[in-house]
Structure 1
Amino acid sequence: MDDALSVEPETAVERPGQLREFWFYFRENRGAVIGLYIFAVFAFLALFGPWVAPHDATEQFRAATLQPPVWQDGGTWEFILGTDPLGRDMLSRLIVGARYSFFVGVVVVSIAASGGILMGLIAGFAPKWLDSIIMRIMDVILAFPSLLLALVLVAILGPSLTNAMIAIAIVLQPHYVRLTRASVLSERQKDYVTSARVVGAGYFRLMFVTVLPNCLAPIIVQAALSFSTAILDAAALGFLGMGAQPPTPEWGTMLAEAREFILRAWWVVTFPGLAILVTVLAINLMGDGLRDALDPKLKRS
């Protein structure tokens, strides 16, 4: 009883200590901290976009089509970033568009990570023949250019934002499978796994309770990078007309609608492109910070 009581306070402070250590190494990467702040701003817009936007994203002001931004001759404070060819407020569409882009990232990463981790665990613990079958299927998927494979899948399923998310998740899944399998094969050789086997732990407990928590660090980094890849691929599919369909204010779709006006109204193309660029860059910077904070080999002594 005394031993149990003496260990309990030490266990209670273990998690806060880990969080402090993570933040200590994460904030050493200034780019990652800047990326985190930018990501937080876009996440806020994604959550509260319809209430923050000055106008409805689909409302058309026919008397103000292709109106320039406020700082250019002819611009007004009513439409700070100007309007598109149909008279819709660019700022409102960009703000609401953040919701679609972040929704794509969350759904794609959730589907790809859950399926990839499961198959990676199975491959790491399965007999050699089953492991070979799973990995050869993943190699076939990786052999195709990711955007081309996503285009083919969307063409089969039909152009829509939902089908685009499914296609992107399938394309990203092999990365999680290979990463999880490699981590599992490395962890299986360690003493704590052998000890768990000796005391009678079954395969499910070994996979999900014993081994998986120790494989999460590289998977979290991969999830952050996949989030930006999903946003970029969804924008590319939207630009090609295979993702979100008009009048959805998705950034790639906005680029597709405005490309014929690039010489007459630079703002209708520039602002959606900048939104994609800044968001993807911020998430990639966060991914670098996560890698530095979670990889023990990169931590400074």
Structure 2
Amino acid sequence: MAEATAAQTAPDRPGRLREFWYYFRENRGAVIGLWVFVAFVFVAIFAPLLAPHGPTQQFRTALLQPPFWQEGGSLAFPLGTDAVGRDMLSRLLHGARYSFYVGIIVVTIAASGGIIVGLLSGFAPKWVDTIIMRVMDIILAFPSLLLALVLVAILGPSLTNAMIAIAIVLQPHYVRLTRASVLSEKNKDYVTAARVTGAGLPRLMFITVLPNCLSPIIVQAALSFSTAILDAAALGFLGMGAQPPTPEWGTMLAEAREFILRAWWVVTFPGLAILITVLSINLMGDGLRDALDPKLKRS
């Protein structure tokens, strides 16, 4: 009888995933961004199957051919071709793979290093914390793209070195965010209870405190994903990222600069790909913030 009464009076709360989706879907822009991002991931995974041609295959009889709806266009090249006869659609589809790869690698490196350093800073003695944070402040004092350019110039122009440089530039954001979350959590009762029961420092950092600091880090990771794609495209445009003939969107823009006036499609489509992808991820990040931040949830 007591069990039945308890079951009736217990609050019927949805699961965490259902609750997350309830708050996430209230932001319509975030839902649209999620579906666009899912499409982006699908294209990145299945690009070799979706692309009608190879990304570096050249058709010398179809140089700067316009899209199919313009005079002189052809359905064989739906979005036209570039200056050396490569299919724009195929290069855009394969470019999604590089952008997704850049986002995953950069966020993984930046978040992993930033979380570890942030945890150490939050639990370290005052003087160690001060040194770590001053180093982070120095890195943040430089414009991010300029610092990335300097690092790539030192390491050498390549997509791999560009990803390393972008990860280093983004890492201080994770350090500061993790440290702030740790400082707000480590003096709470559940952490004190864990200390009393004999939990060591590594267990306190990674098992007790870190799970309660993940919400803002997840939001930062989503926003950093779009920043990584944008910075990689910027470095590629400046010739310091992926090198030709790699079908990376920023590199495609760099190769098309001299044809802006007479072949609009070679510049427009890579630019739109970058714009739509970054915008969708930013919208999704806003939705994640709304769903994961308790202060933003409606009662």
Cα displacement (A) at 1:51: 1.2
Distance 1:30 1:92 in 2: 31
Distance 2:223 2:48 in 1: 27
Residue of structure 2 equivalent to 1:292: 290
Once the two structures are superposed, residues 232-271 of structure 1 have per-residue CA deviations (whole angstroms, 9 ceiling, x without a partner) of: 0000000000000000000000000001000010000000
Distance 2:85 2:40 in 1: 24
Aligned amino acid, residue 216 of structure 2: P
Aligned amino acid, residue 146 of structure 1: S
Distance 1:254 1:198 in 2: 59
Residue of structure 2 equivalent to 1:158: 156
Once the two structures are superposed, the pairs formed by residues 120-199 of structure 1 within 5 Å of their partners are 120-199=118-197
Residue of structure 1 equivalent to 2:258: 260
Q: What number of residue pairs does the alignment pair up?
A: 292
Cα displacement (A) at 1:135: 0.5
Once the two structures are superposed, residues 41-64 of structure 1 have per-residue CA deviations (whole angstroms, 9 ceiling, x without a partner) of: 010011111111011010000000
Once the two structures are superposed, residues 198-220 of structure 1 have per-residue CA deviations (whole angstroms, 9 ceiling, x without a partner) of: 11111000000000000000000
Distance 2:40 2:84 in 1: 25
Aligned amino acid, residue 127 of structure 1: P
Residue of structure 2 equivalent to 1:250: 248
**Counterpart selection for 1:232 from 227, 230, 233:** 230
Confirm or deny that 1:75 pairs with 2:99: no
Residue of structure 2 equivalent to 1:60: 58
Q: Give the unaligned 5+ runs of structure 2.
A: none
Higher alpha-carbon deviation: 191-200 or 266-275: 191-200
Cα displacement (A) at 1:187: 0.2
Confirm or deny that 1:271 pairs with 2:277: no
Distance 1:137 1:104 in 2: 25
RMSD: 1.6
Residue of structure 2 equivalent to 1:100: 98
TM-score normalised by structure 1 residue count: 0.95
Residue of structure 1 equivalent to 2:41: 43
Runs of 4+ aligned structure 1 residues displaced above 3 Å come to none
**Counterpart selection for 2:22 from 13, 21, 24:** 24
Distance 1:269 1:227 in 2: 23
**Counterpart selection for 2:117 from 119, 142, 145:** 119
